[in-house]
């Protein structure tokens, strides 16, 4: 292997990149755009949930109860004239929840028979329903404290939840560290898969091979510019996360760089393998999109927790690089992990990257050597 020949290939590759608007656009705009989309548009925290309210009691107590809901910021109350109208607001999608207070609420409260109000939640959106329900307990205890004169005795066993690392359960803090995985997976797998396939498709691979250049020099020369580009993309997202969304970064930057580089190597290896096997740009592009996007969004723990997956998928995810990088990324960002804490993800990423790059190089070498 001669470095000068690998660098000659890198130089040519950089020229291709600089002169291809599509590649440049993909490399620079994709990270920025996805950070903004994911950061702003995807919101698991719910505020001002439109709630239809029918107060059939119209007493001080019923108003206090409703006020407890209203002042929580989670519910936005909209009065309805009767139970049917409140339910209709739900089915017409004007409200996500409805609160119905029957006449006699205050009377039952005073007599100590236990007052009841009904909360109807739109169950068609699972995650929204879960969030609405989650806020309920807090509202209930506030209302109880206000309504009952001797405040109710605390339960014998009190569970007091406190969230570590992300006390407000800010979903952006959770999402943005995972975002890198999606962007880098698409970017690096796609671009590398195109670069080798292009040389096969337009016949220039044959010309390359008529010179004394070796397969390893082609691979190193091709991967170098995309490594730099991938790291630059990661840096862009990191900046966006820190500056725009104020995502905390509690852990070690060195550990993060290491995990990023290993994840990038795995993605480049994956892209290389695709293009070495398929040799057609169109096909490589489709396969790269599919194999880059699906695992990183669905099977990485980015959105759906891996612990809740069936056994088969839990095992499957452990051979997919995105799962390990997301794990490492969140531990570093939020839990303040250092290199020693993320030893397992680092090890797994190294193994997967080595396997992918090794496999691609071997297949490539076998195809090329006379």
Binding site for another protein (CB under 8 A): 2, 4-5, 7-9, 11-12, 15-16, 19-20, 202-204, 206-213, 369-370
Shortest approach of another protein to residue 197 CB, angstroms? Answer: 14
Shortest approach of another protein to residue 21 CB, angstroms? Answer: 11
CB closer to another protein, 142 vs 213: 213
β pairing state of 97-101 and 118-121:
antiparallel
CB closer to another protein, 5 vs 333: 5
Shortest approach of another protein to residue 258 CB, angstroms? Answer: 32
Of 16, 356, 355, nearest to 199 by C-alpha is: 16
Please state the φ and ψ torsions of residue 101, each to the nearest 5 degrees. -115, 115
CB closer to another protein, 16 vs 110: 16
CB closer to another protein, 9 vs 100: 9
CA distance 117 to 128: 21
Shortest approach of another protein to residue 90 CB, angstroms? Answer: 59
CA distance 78 to 85: 11
Shortest approach of another protein to residue 201 CB, angstroms? Answer: 10
CB closer to another protein, 11 vs 253: 11
Shortest approach of another protein to residue 178 CB, angstroms? Answer: 36
Shortest approach of another protein to residue 213 CB, angstroms? Answer: 5
CA atoms lying within 13 Å on the CB side of residue 311:
0
314 exposure class (CB count in 10 Å sphere: 0-12, 13-18, 19+): middle
Ranges of H-type helices in the chain: 3-19, 21-36, 60-70, 83-91, 105-111, 126-147, 171-201, 204-209, 215-239, 253-278, 281-298, 311-317, 321-335, 343-368
CB closer to another protein, 9 vs 272: 9
C-alpha 4: how far from its chain's center?
40
Q: Which residues pair with 101 in a beta bridge?
A: 55
β pairing state of 75-79 and 118-121:
unpaired
CB closer to another protein, 214 vs 341: 214
Of 241, 235, 227, nearest to 178 by C-alpha is: 241
CA distance 186 to 27: 10
Of 110, 195, 122, 118, nearest to 147 by C-alpha is: 110
Shortest approach of another protein to residue 12 CB, angstroms? Answer: 5
**Contact of 274 with 291, CB cutoff 8 Å:** yes
Q: Which residue has the tokens 């029957």?
A: 102
CB closer to another protein, 102 vs 367: 367
């Amino acid at each position: 292997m001669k470095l000068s020949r690998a660098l000659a290939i890198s130089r040519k590759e950089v020229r291709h990149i600089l002169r291809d608007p599509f590649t440049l656009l993909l490399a620079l705009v994709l990270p920025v755009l996805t950070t903004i989309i994911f950061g702003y548009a995807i919101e698991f925290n719910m505020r001002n949930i439109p709630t239809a309210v029918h107060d059939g009691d119209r007493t001080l107590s019923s108003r206090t109860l409703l006020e407890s809901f209203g002042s929580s910021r989670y519910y936005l109350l909209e009065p309805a004239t009767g139970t049917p109208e409140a339910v209709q607001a739900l089915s017409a999608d004007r409200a996500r929840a409805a609160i119905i207070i029957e006449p006699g609420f205050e009377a039952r409260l005073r007599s100590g028979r236990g007052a009841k109000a009904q909360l109807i939640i739109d169950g068609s959106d699972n995650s929204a329903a879960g969030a609405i329900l989650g806020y309920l307990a807090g509202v209930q205890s506030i209302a109880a404290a206000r309504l009952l004169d001797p405040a109710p005795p605390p339960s014998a066993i009190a569970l007091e939840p406190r969230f570590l690392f992300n006390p407000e359960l800010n979903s952006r803090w959770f999402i943005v560290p995972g975002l890198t995985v999606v962007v880098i997976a698409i970017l690096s797998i796609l671009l590398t898969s195109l670069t080798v396939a292009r040389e096969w498709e337009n016949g220039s691979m044959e010309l390359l091979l008529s010179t004394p250049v070796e397969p390893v020099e082609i691979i190193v020369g091709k991967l170098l510019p995309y490594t730099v580009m991938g790291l630059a993309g990661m840096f862009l997202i990191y900046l966006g996360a820190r500056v725009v969304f104020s995502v905390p970064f509690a852990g070690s930057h060195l550990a993060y760089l290491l995990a990023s580089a290993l994840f990038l190597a795995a993605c480049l290896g994956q892209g290389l393998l695709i293009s070495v096997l398929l040799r057609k740009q169109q096909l490589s592009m489709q396969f790269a999109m599919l194999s880059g996007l699906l695992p990183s969004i669905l099977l990485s723990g980015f959105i759906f927790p891996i612990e809740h997956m069936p056994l088969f998928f839990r095992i499957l995810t452990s051979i997919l690089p995105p799962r390990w990088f997301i794990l490492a990324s969140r531990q570093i960002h939020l839990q303040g992990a250092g290199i020693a804490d993320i030893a397992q993800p680092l090890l797994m990423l190294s193994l997967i990257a080595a396997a992918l790059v090794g496999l691609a190089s071997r297949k490539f070498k076998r195809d090329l050597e006379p």
